[in-house]
Amino acid sequence: MHGNEPCGGEALGRIASAFENRELEPAKGTIFLIHANLEATSQGRRNTPKGDDLNRLWDFGFAETLRQEAWGYEHHRVLELREVLGDLDIFLDLHSAATPTPPFGVSNGEASIDDIAKQVGISFLVQSWYGLADKVIIGFLKLAGVPALSVECGSHGDPEIVETAHGIAMNFLRATGAIEDGTKTNGNEVRTVHVVETITKPSDEFGFGCPWQGFQQLEPGTLVGRDRVTEIRVSRPCYAVLPNEDVEVGHDVIYLAVDT
Ligand SMILES: [Zn+2]
């Protein structure tokens, strides 16, 4: 989905090889292994310079507001993917983060997805993500009635990240019954949370109060970050989600989640 997050593509490559070598057989249905953003992956960027974030285009608003000559790779790609994805029975998408995080999932709340999500090997399951719902792929799939899960597998820099992404994808195939290889899925305790706040970077001077890590717990009064005029503190216990200081002004710098 994001070209600077190669773990998903590499995990899918390993699974595709296992099917080709007959080490793995589909037990039922048809399994689609889709590398969503080939162009950004070849460039090692989140999205192509002329295009846009492929996981923020799923409300297709650009088709009305942006003339076609100004579209980049991702604008064309999201329309191609829409043709395939709306007909799926169930869906998983794989990401990695800028800073260390325990693996966590984001559910679109359709039918059986939460039960399956709890078997893939995540520590946290986000049940709702305030403000993002209609722009991300799992939001589009919710409208199409397709149970869908996005997983952040860990940080880009984690040497085990491909291993983690592969394990999560394999557990998803097992939990859905798409493969039966005799291996049990993950039975870890999974904590359910809601993302209730999105903080965007107010200025170039903005910096975090601490170098936050994913799902670090913040107590009331904790200084999330500040610039010369603004101080952001939390007023209730919450978790830091996808903290990333290294974004442009106006882009999301951290999300805050609370227990359900
Ligand atoms: Zn991503």
Q: Are residues 151 and 204 in the same domain?
A: no
C-alpha 213 – ligand 1 centre gap (Å):
16
What pLDDT, in 10s, does the model give residues 69-126?
A: 999 999 999 999 999 998 999 999 999 999 999 999 999 999 899 999 999 999 999 9
**To which residue do tokens 């942006």 refer?**
66
C-alpha 224 – ligand 1 centre gap (Å):
22
Q: Are 255 and 197 in contact (CB under 8 A)?
A: yes
Report the candidate in 13, 1, 23 with the shortest Cα–Cα distance to residue 179: 23
C-alpha 94 – ligand 1 centre gap (Å):
7
Q: Is residue 205 part of a domain?
A: yes
In the 8-state DSSP scheme, what is residue 26?
A: B
Give me the CATH number covering residue 83. Answer: 3.40.630.10
C-alpha 3 – ligand 1 centre gap (Å):
8
Distances (CA, A) of 235 to 19, 24, 69, 157: 50, 50, 46, 32
C-alpha 231 – ligand 1 centre gap (Å):
28
C-alpha 218 – ligand 1 centre gap (Å):
24
Give me the CATH number covering residue 254. Answer: 2.40.50.630
Q: Is residue 199 part of a domain?
A: yes
C-alpha 191 – ligand 1 centre gap (Å):
21
Bridge partner list, 25: none
Q: Are residues 163 and 199 in the same domain?
A: no
Can you give the pLDDT of all 260 residues of the chain as single tens digits? 999 999 999 999 999 999 999 999 999 999 999 999 999 999 999 999 999 999 999 999 999 999 999 999 999 999 999 999 989 999 999 999 999 999 999 999 998 999 999 999 999 999 988 777 789 999 999 999 999 999 999 999 999 999 999 999 999 999 999 999 999 997 789 999 999 999 999 999 999 999 999 999 999 999 999 999 999 999 999 999 999 999 999 999 999 999 98
Q: Is residue 34 part of a domain?
A: yes
Q: Are residues 66 and 143 in the same domain?
A: yes
Q: Are residues 109 and 150 in the same domain?
A: yes
C-alpha 238 – ligand 1 centre gap (Å):
22
Q: Are residues 112 and 169 in the same domain?
A: yes
Q: Are residues 162 and 94 in the same domain?
A: yes
C-alpha 173 – ligand 1 centre gap (Å):
21
Number of domains in the chain: 2
Structural domain for 100, as ranges:
7-175
Q: Are residues 115 and 143 in the same domain?
A: yes
C-alpha 98 – ligand 1 centre gap (Å):
9
C-alpha 22 – ligand 1 centre gap (Å):
30
Name the average pLDDT for the chain: 95
Per the confidence metrics, is the pTM higher than 0.85? yes
Q: Is residue 186 part of a domain?
A: no
Residues with CB under 5 A from ligand 1 (ion): 2, 5, 95
What pLDDT, in 10s, does the model give residues 152-168?
A: 999 999 999 999 999 99
H or E element, residue 254: strand 252-259
C-alpha 260 – ligand 1 centre gap (Å):
24
Q: Are residues 130 and 16 in the same domain?
A: yes
Quote the radius of gyration of the chain (alpha carbons, Å): 19
CB atoms within 10 A of CB 254: 24
Q: Are residues 215 and 160 in the same domain?
A: no
C-alpha 107 – ligand 1 centre gap (Å):
15
Bridge partner list, 231: 226
C-alpha 225 – ligand 1 centre gap (Å):
23
C-alpha 125 – ligand 1 centre gap (Å):
16
Concatenated DSSP letters of 183-218: --------EEEEEEEEEE---TT-EESS---TT-EE
Q: Are residues 142 and 213 in the same domain?
A: no
Total length of the chain: 260
Q: Is residue 182 part of a domain?
A: no
Q: Is residue 52 part of a domain?
A: yes
For 120, the 3-state DSSP assignment is: coil
C-alpha 228 – ligand 1 centre gap (Å):
30
- CA separation for the pair 260, 258 (Å, rounded): 6
Q: Are residues 131 and 210 in the same domain?
A: no
C-alpha 2 – ligand 1 centre gap (Å):
5
Q: Is residue 200 part of a domain?
A: yes
Q: Are residues 160 and 229 in the same domain?
A: no
C-alpha 66 – ligand 1 centre gap (Å):
23
